[in-house]
Amino acid sequence: MSGNEVLHRIQQGNKAAFEQLFTENFSVLCAYANHFVNDLDASQDIVQDVLFHLWEIKEQLPIDIPPRALLFKSVQNKCLNHIKHKKVEEKYSESVLNQPQNIMYEQHISESTTLHEVLRKGIDMLPPERKKIFIMQRYDELSYKEIAERLDISVKTVENQIGKALQFLRNYMQSHLPTSMLMIGLLLVKFFSFIIGVFNTSNCS
């Protein structure tokens, strides 16, 4: 899937496309942000804010701009605002501001493959009914109400099964991902929780 196609699908509310953008770019964006703020925790918060904000304004995304260029520019702006608000008086050389992005991107791109593999294995280990409900919500993009109607179960049952699936995936990633990738995995599960909540709130009527 090309970069512009990814943005187009995100613009249409495609969660799988956003997941791809998230997993392929989180690590390298954190490394890039850290060049500015020199604080790993702050860098992760900045990148998370940028990515989640991107989802919230997905309908207004400019699909004529390469997604990586959009992400790096957004992270850079967020970092500079962070520095300004914290009143950190540091000088950043042109070499840092213009840090080659392709090198960092290529160093981290293989991590997304590992993350997807662990995630798929975790989903496959869910109990059959829970896995079915999770896939219907996550990949078929059905609301709790729609799933309940199709499976002839209560909305509360769907909600409980999704919650248990997310908890299992969180624990599974903690025990199967290398330390360097753990933060990305946990944030991805957090994104699942976030987007599931937004989706069902908008479809609860």
What's the pLDDT score for residue 186? 64
Using CA atoms in the order 24, 29, 30, 34, what is the torsion angle rounded to 10 degrees? 160
What's the pLDDT score for residue 65? 82
What's the pLDDT score for residue 143? 85
What's the pLDDT score for residue 107? 43
Architecture of domain 109-205: Orthogonal Bundle (1.10)
Listed by start position, the domains of the chain span: 1-99, 109-205
What's the pLDDT score for residue 86? 66
What's the pLDDT score for residue 180? 60
What's the pLDDT score for residue 150? 92
What's the pLDDT score for residue 120? 82
The DSSP result for the chain, as a single string, is --HHHHHHHHHTT-HHHHHHHHHHHHHHHHHHHHHHH--HHHHHHHHHHHHHHHHHTGGG--TTS-HHHHHHHHHHHHHHHHHHHHT------HHHHT--HHHHHHHHHHHHHHHHHHHHHHHHTS-HHHHHHHHHHHTS---HHHHHHHHT--HHHHHHHHHHHHHHHHHHHHHHS-HHHHHHHHHHHHHHHHHHHHHHHHT--
Confirm whether 1-99 and 109-205 share one CATH topology.
Answer: no
Q: Which residue positions in the chain have pLDDT lower than 70?
A: 1-3, 86-114, 178-205
What's the pLDDT score for residue 202? 47
- Which CATH number describes the domain made up of 1-99? 1.10.1740.10
